[in-house]
């Protein structure tokens, strides 16, 4: 019955003038007595301090506080009442968050807009963030892997009461400054308790029972082991479980990037920072919003090392960075800086020429696959790697290009894609190549007979050269008898079966398809009188016969 009456009265809280009972006409609520009620029980139910029952009896002019009747209406000043529950609400949410409602042991998904009642616990998962909003404008922003208990979230008259338990993780609290109202905001960790009014501060609870507090606006007080200290603006402190809080120290200023490019066209890229005295590391974030809530990349960077940005989509981001000292206190945020990433359209991947190629057979001809988002392509050919001495410049809609004839020398080639809006993507890798004079025709020696085979030999054209050997019955090489690819500069071929005159020539070529001209033409004979005379098969026995006759 009491719960029913209290719910009804809470819904009907009005600011009534106190007629004749108070000269100040303070706001009150009315409670109608039901059977079984006593003043002491009602005060235990409704008052923040049940011991204030004598004041209630005086205001209601009760001659006998132990004697009240069903139907009797009692008035109670709002200032004496227990706080009316004031629920939070899930606002901004990135990733996944969960809630454990009062009286439950089960975690369930939490969505933006869901209620966060008094007595519940909320937690963010890895790479997630959540902002809890209260009706008076106070907010509490939970960073990834944070668990927070809503111990008390209530209102007592014009005073808002927030008592939160930070079990582990990191939160950023913003308490509104409002005329005519007050906020008592208390955050308890396993090792300390901090209280604040109208301020912005960060609180951290580590798994090793170390808590940290950093004040960005206003002042907070920290209490641990019976010692209470004030933390002014831009100062912070730390407290280990079972120990008093350390003397507040000044927060480090935010590091400043050495340079920010107008746009980053290739991932990954690196951002370097100017040194910050006493900083051991930096917390660098890339966020989609200037307020720093919607982070897409977060990294703890050792002091002196750059922030590596990878895996981000094209778009406009904000760089948020803070210096961290040897206590683990995060410093004052540097002003967010706009970072633009546009990696599309991507550079074309050129084919048909390889870096370091030696070209002897004409100008390079390149091709590439069509690039998504590209309206046309820009190619540059230069005599220097810095592309200051551009010799050819092509703006193409097709996906192939052949250079005009080039003089001997070193050249550099690159290409980029151009979008419909005229945005030029990053340059491709630079392809370097050299144009060399054509191969000279090899010099072919006179064929020699060697035990029934024809031995052929020619001059070497260089390393990696293959040779095409042709044998024909005619000097014009219209009727080929044989054609071979030879790696060495000499070879032996079987003597032809048919008698007659044979012609031989050879040419060189490389892996790029460049060829020399054919060599000089040599010839040899098979069969006939001259072949018989020169055949060593009968010269040996003839010589032996002449030797015997001479004896």
Give yes or no: residues 52 and 178 share one domain.
no
Query: Alpha carbon of 128 to those of 90, 131, 141, 145, 279: distances in Å?
Result: 13, 11, 11, 7, 26
Give yes or no: residues 99 and 75 share one domain.
no
142 touches 129 (CB < 8 A) = yes
Give yes or no: residues 300 and 373 share one domain.
no
The CATH number of whichever domain residue 62 belongs to comes to 3.10.350.10
Give yes or no: residues 407 and 475 share one domain.
no
143 domain residue, yes or no:
yes
The CATH number of whichever domain residue 156 belongs to comes to 2.60.120.1440
Q: With b meaning 16 or more CB within 10 Å and e meaning fewer, what string describes 381-414?
A: bbeeeebeeebeeeeeeeeebebeebeeeebbbb
Give yes or no: residues 454 and 499 share one domain.
yes
Give yes or no: residues 198 and 118 share one domain.
yes
Structural domain ending residue among the three candidates 373, 408, 424: 424
% helix, strand, coil for the chain, step of 5: 10, 45, 45
Give yes or no: residues 237 and 279 share one domain.
no
Give yes or no: residues 105 and 237 share one domain.
yes
Structural domain ending residue among the three candidates 304, 336, 368: 336
Give the Cα separation of 125 and 386 in Å (integer).
Answer: 48
Peptide bond into 345 cis (omega under 30): yes
Q: Domain range for residue 472?
A: 448-533
Alpha carbon 170 to chain centroid, angstroms: 22
129 domain residue, yes or no:
yes
The pTM for the full model equals: 0.65
State the DSSP H helix or E strand holding residue 529, giving kind and residue range, or none if neither: helix 528-533
42 domain residue, yes or no:
yes
Reading the block at residue 472, the tokens are 């024909």
Cβ partners under 8 Å of residue 259, min gap 6 = 272
Among candidate residues 450, 513, 524, 456, the one with its CA nearest the CA of residue 486: 456
- What letter does residue 21 receive in the DSSP assignment? T
Q: Following DSSP, what letter does each residue of 66-87 receive, concatenated?
A: T---TT-EEEEEGGGBPPEE--
Residue-by-residue pLDDT tens, the chain, 551 positions: 434 334 334 433 333 333 333 334 566 667 778 778 889 888 887 787 889 999 999 999 998 988 998 888 888 886 777 766 778 999 999 999 999 998 788 999 999 999 998 889 999 999 999 999 998 889 999 999 999 999 878 776 667 778 899 999 999 999 987 555 556 788 989 999 888 877 999 999 997 789 999 999 999 999 888 898 999 999 999 999 999 999 999 999 999 999 999 999 889 999 999 999 999 999 999 999 999 999 999 999 999 999 999 999 999 999 999 999 999 999 999 999 999 999 999 999 999 888 888 888 778 889 999 999 999 999 999 999 999 998 888 999 999 999 888 889 999 999 999 999 999 998 999 999 999 888 899 999 999 988 889 999 999 998 889 999 999 999 999 989 999 999 999 999 988 888 999 999 999 998 777 888 999 999 999 875 555 455 555 556 666 667 667 76
349 domain residue, yes or no:
no
Give yes or no: residues 417 and 454 share one domain.
no
User: Residue 547: what pLDDT?
Assistant: 63
> What phi and psi, each to the nearest 5 degrees, are found at residue 497?
-75, -45
User: Residue 27: what pLDDT?
Assistant: 64
Give yes or no: residues 109 and 229 share one domain.
yes
The CATH number of whichever domain residue 521 belongs to comes to 2.60.40.10
Cβ partners under 8 Å of residue 231, min gap 6 = 194, 201, 213, 215, 219, 220, 221, 222, 237, 248
Query: Alpha carbon of 54 to those of 12, 16, 50, 118, 191: distances in Å?
Result: 25, 21, 9, 30, 39
Give the Cα separation of 25 and 252 in Å (integer).
Answer: 51
543 domain residue, yes or no:
no
Give the Cα separation of 469 and 509 in Å (integer).
Answer: 11
112 touches 91 (CB < 8 A) = yes
Give yes or no: residues 111 and 212 share one domain.
yes
- What letter does residue 112 receive in the DSSP assignment? T
| Sequence-separated contacts (24+) of 288-297 with Cβ below 8 Å | 288/315, 288/317, 288/318, 289/318, 290/318, 290/336, 292/318, 292/320, 292/333, 292/336, 293/92, 293/94, 293/129, 293/131, 293/141, 294/92, 294/94, 294/129, 295/94, 295/129, 295/320
β 139-142/129-134 pair status: antiparallel
Quote the number of domains for the chain: 5
Give yes or no: residues 227 and 111 share one domain.
yes
365 domain residue, yes or no:
yes
184 domain residue, yes or no:
yes
117 domain residue, yes or no:
yes
Neighbouring C-beta atoms of residue 345, cutoff 10 Å = 22
SS3 43: helix
486 touches 458 (CB < 8 A) = no
């Amino acid at each position: 019955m009491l719960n029913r009456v209290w719910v009804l009265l809470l819904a009907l809280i009005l600011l009534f003038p106190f007629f004749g009972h108070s000269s100040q006409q303070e706001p009150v609520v009315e409670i109608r007595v039901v059977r079984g009620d006593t003043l002491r029980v009602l005060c235990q139910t409704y008052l923040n301090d049940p011991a204030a029952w004598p004041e209630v009896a005086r205001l209601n002019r009760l001659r006998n506080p132990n004697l009240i009747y069903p139907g009797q209406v009692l008035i109670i000043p709002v200032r004496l009442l227990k706080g009316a529950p004031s629920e939070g609400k899930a606002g901004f949410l990135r990733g996944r968050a969960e809630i454990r409602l009062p009286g439950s042991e089960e975690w369930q998904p939490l969505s933006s807009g869901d209620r966060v009642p008094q007595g519940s616990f909320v937690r963010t998962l890895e790479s997630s963030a959540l902002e809890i909003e209260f009706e008076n404008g106070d907010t509490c922003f939970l960073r990834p892997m944070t668990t927070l208990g809503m111990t008390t979230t209530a209102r007592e008259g014009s005073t808002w009461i927030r008592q939160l338990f930070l079990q582990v993780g990191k939160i950023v609290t913003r308490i509104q400054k409002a005329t005519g109202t007050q906020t008592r905001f208390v955050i308890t960790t396993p090792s300390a308790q901090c209280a604040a009014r109208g301020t912005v501060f960060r609180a951290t609870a580590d798994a090793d029972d170390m808590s940290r507090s950093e004040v960005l606006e206003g002042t907070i007080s920290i209490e641990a082991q019976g010692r209470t200290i004030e933390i002014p603006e831009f100062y912070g402190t730390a407290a280990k479980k079972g120990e008093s809080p350390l003397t507040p120290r000044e927060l480090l200023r935010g590091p400043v990037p050495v340079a920010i490019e107008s746009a980053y066209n290739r991932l990954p890229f690196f951002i370097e920072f100017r040194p910050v005295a006493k900083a051991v590391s930096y917390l660098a974030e890339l966020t989609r919003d200037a307020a720093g809530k919607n982070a897409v990349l977060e990294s703890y960077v050792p002091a002196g090392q750059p922030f590596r940005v990878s895996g981000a989509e094209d778009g406009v981001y904000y760089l948020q960075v803070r210096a961290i000292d040897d206590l683990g206190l995060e410093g004052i945020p540097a002003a967010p800086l706009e970072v633009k990433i546009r990696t599309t359209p991507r550079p074309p991947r050129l084919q048909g020429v390889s870096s370091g190629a030696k070209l002897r057979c004409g100008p390079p001809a390149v091709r590439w696959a069509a690039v998504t988002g590209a309206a046309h392509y820009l190619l540059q050919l230069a005599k220097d790697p810095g592309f200051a001495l551009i010799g050819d410049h092509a703006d193409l809609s097709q996906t192939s290009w052949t250079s005009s004839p080039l003089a001997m020398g070193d050249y550099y080639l690159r290409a980029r894609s151009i979008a419909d809006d005229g945005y030029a993507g990053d340059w491709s890798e630079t392809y370097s190549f050299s144009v060399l004079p054509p191969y000279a025709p090899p010099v072919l020696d006179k064929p020699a007979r060697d035990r029934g085979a024809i031995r052929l030999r020619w001059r070497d054209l260089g390393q990696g050269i293959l040779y095409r050997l042709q044998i024909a019955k005619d000097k014009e090489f219209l009727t080929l008898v044989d054609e071979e690819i030879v790696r060495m500069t000499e070879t032996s071929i079987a003597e032809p079966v048919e008698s007659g005159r044979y012609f031989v020539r050879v040419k060189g070529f490389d892996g790029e398809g460049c060829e020399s001209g054919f060599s000089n033409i040599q010839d040899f004979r098979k069969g006939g009188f001259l072949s018989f005379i020169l055949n060593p098969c009968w010269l040996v026995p003839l010589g032996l016969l002449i030797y015997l006759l001479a004896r």
